[in-house]
Amino acid sequence: MAGPTASVPPASVPLGFLAAAGVGLCGFGLAVWFAADNIVVAPTIPGVVSAVHVGMLAFLTTAVLGALHQFAPVVGRRPLRSVLVARLTFVGMVLTAWLLPTGFAHGPEDLIVAGAVIGAATVLAAAWNLSAPLSARDGGVPLAGLRVSVTFLLATVAFGVVYAFDRQQGWFPLLPHRVLAHAHLGLLGWLGITYVAVAEKLWPMFLLAHRPRARSGGWAVALLGCGVPVLALGLLIAIPVLGWIGGIVVGIGLACHLVSLAGVVRHRRRPLELLHAFLFVSAGFLVAAVVLGLCAASAAVEPDTRARLVAAEVASLAGWLGLAVIGHVHKIVPFIGYSALRARGVTTGPSGRPLLFGDLFHHGVARLTFATATGGFVAAVVGIVVGSPATIALGGVLVSATAVLATANLALGPRRATRPSAVGATDESSAAATPQGRTT
């Protein structure tokens, strides 16, 4: 097809990543359920670390990498360097996403080292492959933000490799604040900046919003890019002043991100839809993460309480990104499926009317997905704060249900869209029964 979409890889590339991310989300919910007791009493033990890595790697990183393989060529108007390398990246990401958590939970240690090595090779290949579209000069804030976020991906993985080898060598003391530095580097630097940058392109497009000024998005990317390294360094070497400076800069950047969302909504020319319910709840989790982080850093509380507050902050950041990803895939997957169906000559939906994006998923199931996703992440965060394993376990079950609903709904969408409905079949039969229908 002509235009920017001519640069995108085959649909099987991003859809493969997103399908694997659906499996990862299901596994994340189950892992949280099984680790619920330990999340309350010891959030840094291997079982909990395993559950966190399932969520960060098998769900969030896999989904975001898949989206980048579709989005970067569109924004940069240049294709990936190699579709084959994109497929190898998918294989490497899936292997990494499951080897590391399995090694943390059950051993042996060699699985962790193998996962770290495969993960490092995978992200290096992805960065090289994405460097072609990301080297374009006219992509604006989204493209600049993606360059920064891929740099943070490489830094996060480098940190993770050190983490993996240190478990055997012991030459880098893995104190809790250093593990926390690793978590914030990935959640805010890699995943956070990617989402903030991509949103600056997708939000105005979905709402046909023409803002007189769109500086808040640019400030969000810039402040996060400057603040996250300082915050991570302050946590890494245990210097509170650095942590506070970085945290304040990051907080201002996140506030600019929310201002950008409000500006797009205010200047929209399309009505709000289900995606924006996901986005508004996602923004609520972001606010909760900031509040919980401030409480953990400044409140005079017992060490156990502080550990729960930090764990709840990380869970809230996962809720922010998780709700955003789940909401956006209800737009991204139908968009990719729509293009593929049109390329095959499918132009009408099940009712006989022109094919629309909305024909490619069941709206009732999508609303149920929103309810289970919201309930799952809320239950997980609240359960961590109040120290209730049963509530955390309920959150895990709801998150797994979300994965099943969303994956099945989007996977079956194209088949549903091309199957004639009962109404359409009845209308065709009636037309054929008329004299005019017989003569034609």
pLDDT digits (tens, 9 = 90+) for 289-310: 999 999 988 888 888 888 899 9
- With a cut of 50, say whether residue 427 has pLDDT above it: no
Confidence band, pLDDT 50/70/90 cuts, at residue 3: very low
Task: Return the percentage of the chain with pLDDT > 90, whole number.
Answer: 62
Which structure tokens are listed for 414? 């194209």
Query: Please, what is the average pLDDT of the chain?
Result: 87
Q: Is the pTM of this model over 0.85?
A: yes
Which structure tokens are listed for 32? 């949280």
- The sign one gets for the Cα dihedral 201, 93, 320, 234 is negative
Q: What is the DSSP string of 399-410?
A: HHHHHHHHHHHH
- Residue spans per domain, the chain: 10-136
Residue type, 194: T
CA angle 265, 200, 76 (to 5 degrees): 145
CA distance linking residue 414 with residue 334, whole number of Å = 8
Backbone angles phi, psi at 354, to 5 degrees: -55, 140
Q: Which of 307, 290, 314 minimizes the C-alpha distance to 32?
A: 314
CA distance linking residue 75 with residue 412, whole number of Å = 28
Q: Which of 192, 202, 196 minimizes the C-alpha distance to 217?
A: 196
**Could you identify the residue written with the tokens 């079982």?**
47
